[in-house]
Chains A and B, each alone.
Chain A
Amino acid sequence: MDTMRDRFITTTSQLLEEEPRLAVVLADISADGFAPARRAHPDRVINVGIREQLLIGAGAGMALTGMRPIMHTFASFLVERPFEQVKLDFGHQGVGGILVSAGGSYDWPAGGFTHMSPGDVALLDTLEGWTVHVPGHPDEAEALLRGAVDGDDRVYVRLSLQANREARPVGGDGGFSVVREGRAGTVVAVGPMLDNVLTATEGLDVSVLYATTVRPFDAAGLRRAVGAGASAGAGADVVIVEPYLAGTSTARANEALMEVPHRVLGLGVGRAELRRYGQLDEHLAAHGLDAPGLRERITGFLRG
């Protein structure tokens, strides 16, 4: 199977043929993959070199002229390093664009913490008006990207090497989909966390929701899912399993359930720097995001 990043390159190269407003701005990362597209569209595939502030500023400048820019590099250099450019050159200027990251929280653990970005979604959450897509499969990444190119708004697409075995339908209203129904609690699995969540909750009487679009947060979908248990007087127990910083969406869940007695457990990547290299699986286990780790914490919470 190709990776989400491979699919991003092939899909975007194709979209450049179909959509004259589309432009791609790179900062050397993935430049080889886009080389054919750049030869075909030298004015719409721009590589600014290792210059991430310019990457965002130049993309926003293109948007000011009516273009639809995609800006792409690793998440730490796309969102964290030029964050003020993201905030001002898009939000404050009132223009739209698509940020597409690679690398996720720890796609290259041997590369160390400099190339890890578990805080990207939380950071973007301080800004208004960004749609955040976290696909769990290359097919989903393609569908979400195609939808984003059609729009004019501000979109972040977070790509990772971690993926679920099977793609699920995405798009439509962007709401959370119901994968499994149960009465003892609701688990929201974000993007690539779904497979581990399904394994971890086998045999448990819980609902599992699948989320590939986390902003805007599907408050109504969450309320519907917890509705049965809550109306029976049991209150609502909600676990959110995210592939980035633990607790990133907890406040959104609390807002969604304002009128319902509830508890929320936010699972994800820990805040403390692990200072370990190794493999992606080892980092998942270290953060308790492998299936055994998730099962232990989910069952512990639901017993509580």
Chain B
Amino acid sequence: MTNMTAAPVRGLHGSYDFHDLGRLISLMTGAEKHAPAAHSTTDALWVLYDRVLRVTPATADDPGRDRFLLSKGHGPMAYYAVLAAHGFFDEEVLRGFGTYGSPLGHHPDRLLVPGAEIGSGSLGHGLPLAVGTVLGLRAQGLTDPRVWVLVGDAELDEGSNHEAIAHAGPAGLEQLHTLVIDNASATHGWPGGIASRFEAAGWSAATVDGRDHEALYAAFTAPHPGRPRAVVARVEPKR
């Protein structure tokens, strides 16, 4: 079921593997408040960067790269750890987390963090930006790059996301992928399930165990011709 206890698998992009993430995250001290948020994304982020996204430090400015937009900017420690593990910056940078001289804040800033496509923290901005990124790529004939955006289930409460979901389905934005990390933290929950909201708007959607790397990989890479794709990754509830 879960890869947490499986034998280490070497990453494609460097000398780090999934089991290094805990140590890398532990280098960032002082943000205990957001620790559950960070750990909820660890597995999904790892699988994305290790096996799915076609972007490296060398191609970080290539127009043809895949884009990953971290919309849920709360608790970005797992994100920073994954970026460090993939060589976007040295792991020593992690130690400065949240300090005045560090590029790594408790919410990421794209102008400061190597490899970060957007700055986030205020909820509900990433998915509309991802829609526009797909539209911008398409307008330039770049139909190959895929755009991923990670949102939280509580972040999905923001109405701006629903403007984006409702537009992207009928517009057939096949390059768009939304990863929803569902740790059941939305105040009123999502009766009928989160995936049903995407499906009703014309998306391809799947719900998987957010700790199961093979299930995540299969959901991330399933074909969805003519439609945007949503993957709801369920992890243990926040409380």
Contacts and interface: CB of A to CB of B under 8 A. Distances in A.
B192 to A, nearest CB: 23
Given A53-B160, A64-B129, A89-B125, A58 B135 contact: yes
B111 interface: yes
B125 A51 contact: no
B39 to A, nearest CB: 26
B134 A61 contact: yes
Contacts of A299: none
A270 interface: no
B136 A54 contact: no
Contacts of A46: 135
A60 B130 CA distance: 9
B163 A61 contact: no
Contacts of B36: none
A174 B100 CA distance: 38
Contact of B167 (A44, A49, A65, A89): A49
A66 B163 CA distance: 23
Nearest to A97: B132
Contacts of A49: 166-167
A80 to B, nearest CB: 15
A234 B132 CA distance: 55
Task: Select the residue from B110, B134, B167 with max chain A CB neighbours within 10 A.
Answer: B167
Interface in A249-280: none
B153 to A, nearest CB: 19
B139 interface: yes
Task: Select the residue from A43, A46, A51, A58 with max chain B CB neighbours within 10 A.
Answer: A58
A88 B125 contact: yes
Contact of A44 (B130, B139, B166): B139
B136 A93 contact: no
Nearest to B159: A53
B166 A51 contact: yes
B35 interface: no
B202 interface: no
A93 B140 contact: no
A63 B110 CA distance: 14
A18 B129 CA distance: 26
Interface residues of A, number: 30
Contacts of A94: 110-111
Interface in A23-81: 23, 25, 43-44, 46, 48-49, 51, 53-54, 56-67, 69
A54 B131 contact: yes
A84 interface: yes
B140 A66 contact: yes
Interface string A205-246: 000000000000000000000000000000000000000000
B164 interface: yes
A51 B166 CA distance: 10
Given A43-B139, A44-B139, A65-B140, A58 B128 contact: yes
Contact of A61 (B63, B109, B110, B136): B136
B26 interface: no
Given A48-B163, A66-B63, A58 B132 contact: yes
Interface in A269-301: none
Contacts of A58: 128-129, 131-132, 135, 164, 167
Contacts of A303: none
Contacts of B99: none
A93 B110 contact: yes
A160 interface: no
B37 to A, nearest CB: 19
A85 to B, nearest CB: 7
Contacts of A48: 163, 167
Interface of B: 63, 109-111, 117-119, 122, 124-125, 127-140, 142, 159-160, 163-164, 166-167
29 contacts: A23-B135, A46-B135, A51-B163, A51-B167, A53-B160, A54-B128, A56-B128, A57-B125, A57-B132, A57-B164, A58-B128, A58-B132, A60-B129, A61-B129, A61-B130, A61-B136, A62-B133, A64-B132, A64-B136, A65-B142, A66-B136, A69-B132, A69-B136, A85-B125, A85-B128, A85-B160, A88-B119, A88-B122, A93-B118
